[in-house]
Structure 1
Amino acid sequence: MDIAQLERGIVKGDRRALSRAITLVESTRPDHRTAAAELIEALKGANGTPREALRIGLSGTPGVGKSTFIEGFGGMLTGQGLRVAVLAVDPSSARSGGSILGDKTRMDQLSRDPGAFIRPSPSQTHLGGVGRRTREAVALCEAAGFDVVLIETVGVGQSETVVAEMSDLFVLLLAPAGGDELQGVKRGIMEIADIILINKADGDLKAAASRTCADYSGALRLLRKRPQDPKGFPKAMMVSALEDSGLDAAWAEMQALTDWRRENGHWSARRAAQARYWFQQEVRQALLAQLETGPARAALRELGDAVAEGKTTPAIAAAALLDRIGAPGAGA
């Protein structure tokens, strides 16, 4: 693969080049990983100062209308002349490893919009609702000149906090009339949300949406104040992706929060902290990869049998394994 040619295509906004590059960074082949790292490094200096798109993480329970919201919201943004990339991560089967990847089908109109780019990807075995290489895909979309990158994540859970480590804004989408709404979301994910949007605020559900919005507004006021938030944030709002109502107001609030964070130094500080976080994750993943080698697997089986038979303790066996593979912490 010609990395220089791929780089030129991405900088020019070539969609095929962007798609090929995302496939490259998602690959686990060692030679592809080397090429992907080379491409990302080349793109950092392709246009001088790296381009910074607004990265928006979007999560919500199944059936809340994430795809409908993204299609309406993305269409509104492209209508304003902005270029929008959507990275939609689908859950992978724990048994077969496969994913449906049906997001482009659900976003039929946006997928045909010349100002939008939609890329579904499998989550594989990674927690946090995103693939391990989603952050690199975001960087590729920024280099391709997109103004807004939407990262649609899988489900809702405490592991979803990983998404906050690659987003400038984190938006939580909820539906009304879901029973005891405040029990529907863990405190952990509420603490990282910047804006909570109550979707489906239309028709018979509008009154329920209003009550749900009031409930969450009250709950957010009880959370500890975060230094990266101006007065009034985080906040809950009502939207209807079906009727395209409230989308412009939600976008205005996102812009206001982004501008405030830029002006007060939180934007750059947050991105620096995110870069440090992903560096540490790469180190951890590299150390874990050592356990997948042939000698390490043989040692795991041997020492595992010894533990199972009561010949040694798990702690001593673990120290012995680390000593054999020469990993840091051996003998600790």
Structure 2
Amino acid sequence: MNELADRLVSGDRAALAQAITRVESTRADHQQEARDILTAVMDRTGDAWRIGLTGVPGVGKSTLIEALGKFLTGQGHKVAVLAVDPSSSRSKGSILGDKTRMGELAVDRAAFIRPSPAAGTLGGVARKTRESMLLCEAAGYDVVIVETVGVGQSETVVADMVDVFVALMLPGAGDELQGIKKGILELAEILFVNKAEGENEKRARRSARDLEAALHLFAPASKNWSPVVLTGSALTRDGIDTLWETITKHRKALEEAGELDQRRRGQQVRWLWSMVEDRVLSQFRADAGVRNAAGTLEDAVAKGSLPASEAAERLIASYRGGPERGSSSSDVSSSGAASGPAGES
């Protein structure tokens, strides 16, 4: 792992990909290796621009990221894109086709694109995206863009891991107050009305005015920054320079006020507890007592013979061999559920 970490720090793209694979793996040995790598490279992280980008499917997220990425690599930046693909609730698989939608950026040696399955994670952000971001920073990428699956209240997860949250909007998409989630307007620090080309240009400007009016109804995410609404076209790359200029102004405003460091410190602490919660839940589900009790209690809840709250209490009580509430199979079976291992614990 020390050798892999050294290769990663030297800019070896294959080493970065291998390290991220270990971060995303659920194998215990890979998770330990990932922690070792992260510990070894932590002193080389934290200097990158962290940008979150969201928007409804079809708004042009991938096209805009490619346009912005090429603009930045042309200025000497190294850009990493962590593109999260939605996972099938049935097969658990993902298409992972982001590289095909960013063909020009994918072959740019100053860019690195890593599609990852969302795996059902809240907000469409893969559980390990934060660690992947740190690895990209350690590998020398000074701009990291996190592309999310789509817009929703749960996209707060994205805003809590980046420095600036950019929301892409469609022109002429109807009543903006009805069509946009309140949570997005409260979190977005930059709104970019995309596809403002040709006949869409007038609609885009009208949508921008609607958005500016709607933003006055909500408190800004930062006391040091008022949300900005921009228009442009990722297809023609019009307005991309203005978008980056606005991102630069946002970072400067937060740095001068000391908010950027404060924001990142808060994110790291919340990240710590998020990881603890994930680990505790994994251990809970893997516990023998919980596995034995789960089937019977799930049946009882499904049949309506046991309240979910009571079933939850019994599952918790069965954790690590603890006595289940009621302590006998009669407690579950008398509620109409079939007796089984859960009642015998």
Give the TM-score category using the shorter length: over 0.9
Normalising by structure 1, report the TM-score. 0.92
Q: How does 1:53-132 map to 2 (within 5 A)?
A: 53-132=48-127
Residues 5 and 193 from structure 1, CA distance in 2 versus in 1: closer, same or farther, beyond 3 angstroms? same
Find the residue that maps to 1:203 and give its secondary structure. coil
Question: Cα RMSD (Å) of the superposition?
Answer: 1.9
Q: CA deviation at 1:306?
A: 4.7
Task: Please say if residues 65 and 199 of structure 1, whose CA atoms lie closer than 8 Å, have aligned partners that are also in contact.
Answer: yes
Identify which of 251, 269, 274 aligns with 1:276: 269
Normalising by structure 2, report the TM-score. 0.89
Measure the CA separation in 2 of the matches of 1:327 and 1:186: 44
Q: Deviations over 1:78-120 (max 9, x none)?
A: 1111110011110010011111111101111111111111111
**1:36 paired to 2:30:** no
Task: Please say if residues 228 and 266 of structure 1, whose CA atoms lie closer than 8 Å, have aligned partners that are also in contact.
Answer: no
**1:157 paired to 2:152:** yes
Q: CA deviation at 1:6?
A: 0.9
Question: Which 5+ residue runs of structure 2 have no aligned equivalent?
Answer: 326-345
Q: CA deviation at 1:315?
A: 3.2
Q: CA deviation at 1:180?
A: 2.4
Residues 300 and 238 from structure 1, CA distance in 2 versus in 1: closer, same or farther, beyond 3 angstroms? same
Give the fraction of aligned pairs with identical amino acids, expressed as a percent.
48
**1:295 paired to 2:293:** no
Measure the CA separation in 2 of the matches of 1:280 and 1:181: 35
Measure the CA separation in 2 of the matches of 1:316 and 1:216: 46
Task: Please say if residues 89 and 131 of structure 1, whose CA atoms lie closer than 8 Å, have aligned partners that are also in contact.
Answer: yes
Measure the CA separation in 2 of the matches of 1:311 and 1:118: 50
**1:166 paired to 2:164:** no
Partner of 1:315: 309
Question: Which 5+ residue runs of structure 1 have no aligned equivalent?
Answer: none
Q: How many residues align?
A: 323
Q: Deviations over 1:185-215 (max 9, x none)?
A: 2001111111000001110100000000010
**1:250 paired to 2:250:** no
Residues 121 and 307 from structure 1, CA distance in 2 versus in 1: closer, same or farther, beyond 3 angstroms? closer
Give the aligned residue type for 1:283: V
Q: CA deviation at 1:307?
A: 5.0
Task: Please say if residues 186 and 220 of structure 2, whose CA atoms lie closer than 8 Å, have aligned partners that are also in contact.
Answer: no
Measure the CA separation in 2 of the matches of 1:183 and 1:206: 22
Residues 246 and 159 from structure 1, CA distance in 2 versus in 1: closer, same or farther, beyond 3 angstroms? same
Residues 197 and 312 from structure 1, CA distance in 2 versus in 1: closer, same or farther, beyond 3 angstroms? closer
Residues 309 and 75 from structure 1, CA distance in 2 versus in 1: closer, same or farther, beyond 3 angstroms? closer
